[in-house]
Amino acid sequence: MKRRIVLCVMAVLLTFPAYAQLGNLIKSVQNSPLLTQQNTVRDTISRFTNIKNAFTKMPLNQGKLSFVTAALPLLNQAYSLSGDILGMFQKNKTLDPVQANKMSGLLGEIENLAAQKGNTAPLAQAQVGEANQKIQQATRILTNILGNEGGLLKSLLQK
């Protein structure tokens, strides 16, 4: 009986360091820069997709036109930034945290604009053409941003 107890104690003492090392290995993988970068890009894609979905579901009225008018400059900045981030990643094989933070800030501004309750008054006939043009432009920009971010994620996953 004593022998079994001693063997059990020895087995626990000998395997404990291995379990501790396994725990440290799991923590280091979870906190790896590559995994963090992949999660950052996935989050960005998710947020842009949510913006695109909310934008698509907005009824065509004064509120949608005012959102598009205010969001277009921000979307253009985000598109330019997404291209810069992808280009820098392809050169340096790393995601620049400063650029990622800028993108997150732009996303926050666009999300805030989308969340605001806009004017629900219908568009005047003269505004329909302008609204459709801006909506097509915003949709094209969002699609391009999602394409850039998808390319970045694909590159990260192939690393």
14 belongs to a structural domain: no
Q: What is the pLDDT of residues 103-156, one digit of tens each?
A: 999 999 999 988 886 778 898 898 999 999 999 999 999 999 999 999 998 888
Q: What's the pTM value of the predicted model, to 2 decimals?
A: 0.77
The Cβ-side half-sphere exposure at 95, using a 13 Å CA radius, reads: 27
18 belongs to a structural domain: no
Question: Cα 67–64–42 angle (5° rounding)?
Answer: 60
Q: What's the domain count of the chain?
A: 1
49 belongs to a structural domain: yes
13 belongs to a structural domain: no
2 belongs to a structural domain: no
Domain that holds residue 97: 37-158
Contacts 24+ apart (CB under 8 A), 133-138: 134/65, 134/68, 134/69, 134/72, 135/60, 135/64, 135/68, 137/72, 138/55, 138/68, 138/71, 138/72, 138/75
17 belongs to a structural domain: no
> Given this model, what pLDDT does residue 68 score?
92
26 belongs to a structural domain: no
> Given this model, what pLDDT does residue 103 score?
93
> Given this model, what pLDDT does residue 149 score?
93
pLDDT band for position 44 (50/70/90)?
very high
Identity of the residue numbered 107: L
